[in-house]
Homo-oligomer: A and B are copies of this chain.
Amino acid sequence: MLGEKRKTGPQQKMPTNRRIVLASRPQTTASTSNFRLEEAPTPVLQPGQILIRNQWLSLDPYMRGRMNDARSYVAPQALNEVMLGATAGKVVESRNRAFAAGDQVVAYTGWQEYGVSDGSGVLKIDPRGGVPLSAYLGAVGMPGVTAWYGLKRIIDPHKGQTVVVSAASGAVGGVVGQLVKTLDARAVGIAGGVEKCRYVIDELGFHACIDYKAQDTPEKFNQALKEAAPNGIDGYFENVGGVMMNAVLPRMNAFGRIALCGLIAGYEGRPIPIDNPAWFLISRLTLQGFIVSEHMDVWHEALKELGALVVAGGIKYRESVAQGLENAPQAFVGMLRGANFGKQLVKLA
């Protein structure tokens, strides 16, 4: 790995920009060898542009889909280009009147130390709001709004109904369950391992949590769901797919709603089928796939509510923080295998 170098000329600061590019597309599972660390000069700003020193990178499961050269809801990540993604940092130079050096911002500049932007889509943060900068990449950012949209606009649980959430200790799932509580509904999580389940119940306050790793047969999973959701399941927030979906479907109540946010179990290798689609008919279910970036109209309302809840302690979250840009690929690959615990971030020096 290369160390950090700064080259400073006499006329102009010209920091070297370290960045990670997609070197190759995975055949099945992604590995660190699909990425390459590069150095490049930081571009000189044009009028209207700002230079951001990134402090946090967001690593998100959707990025795995972009690594394939296949039709999907996002365009493929270009080879030999910097990996795209959300970032939080500080403006270090501005030729845009809407921003000043020192502003904290959330942007979409990717896996690199310095990002350049014309300001469009860049969110200026008021640090007096009490929300930590990194939270704008998690509970008060895209993952939080994803949770908010899927729960409020698709599942829309009534008081007393039961909502099940897979990947419940994750950046999205954790917020879903805590929002369920604000609606006086029952939150049941599914997570991998005793430790994650304990966190989901003790810290996040879910009513119950199922450790899927301990349910080694469909019968056991079914029984665990029966106990955790004794009145059946009215809403399911799906981040995982596969065995989760197949276990939950038979326990859904009539007119249940499924918000399909992710299918991380099937992101690598063969797709995992829905075994018995008849449940959609038998229980008159609605399943809706969604991508939160297509619902920008809700972001303002959602972020306001999420920010207030974070400040008031009504939404808690955990972060898995990798240190240094060079560790982003390893952290990303680990996240795809469930090695993270909460929102996966990379902290830049």
Question: CB < 8 Å: which of B241, B260, B284, B289 contacts A289?
Answer: B284
Range of interface residues on chain A? 20 to 34
A245 in the interface, Cβ–Cβ < 8 Å?
yes
Query: In the complex the two chains form, what is the Cα distance from A288 to B277 in whole Å?
Result: 11
B residues less than 8 Å from A217 (CB atoms): none
B residues less than 8 Å from A262 (CB atoms): 281
12 A–B contacts, CB within 8 A, in A order = A73-B254, A73-B281, A73-B282, A73-B284, A241-B278, A245-B277, A260-B280, A263-B281, A271-B277, A272-B277, A284-B289, A286-B288
A266 in the interface, Cβ–Cβ < 8 Å?
yes
Question: CB < 8 Å: which of B245, B282, B283, B294 contacts A284?
Answer: B294
Whether B245 lies near A283 (C-beta < 8 A) is: no
Question: CB < 8 Å: which of B245, B263, B281, B290 contacts A260?
Answer: B281
Q: By DSSP majority rule, is chain A's interface helix, strand, loop, or mixed?
A: loop
A273 in the interface, Cβ–Cβ < 8 Å?
yes
Question: CB < 8 Å: which of B241, B261, B285 contacts A277?
Answer: B241
Question: CB < 8 Å: which of B71, B276, B289 contacts A285?
Answer: B289
A 267-307 binary contact with B (CB < 8 Å = 1; else 0): 00001111111101111111111110010000000000000
Whether A283 lies near B241 (C-beta < 8 A) is: no
B residues less than 8 Å from A263 (CB atoms): 277-278, 281
Interface centre among A266, A273, A283 (most CB of B within 10 A): A273
| Chain A, 224-281, CB within 8 A of any chain B CB | 241, 245, 254, 260-263, 266, 271-278, 280-281
A27 in the interface, Cβ–Cβ < 8 Å?
no
B residues less than 8 Å from A8 (CB atoms): none
B residues less than 8 Å from A274 (CB atoms): 273-274, 277
B residues less than 8 Å from A260 (CB atoms): 277, 280-281
Whether A71 lies near B282 (C-beta < 8 A) is: yes
A72 in the interface, Cβ–Cβ < 8 Å?
yes
Whether A266 lies near B284 (C-beta < 8 A) is: no
Which chain B residue shows the least CB distance to A286? B288
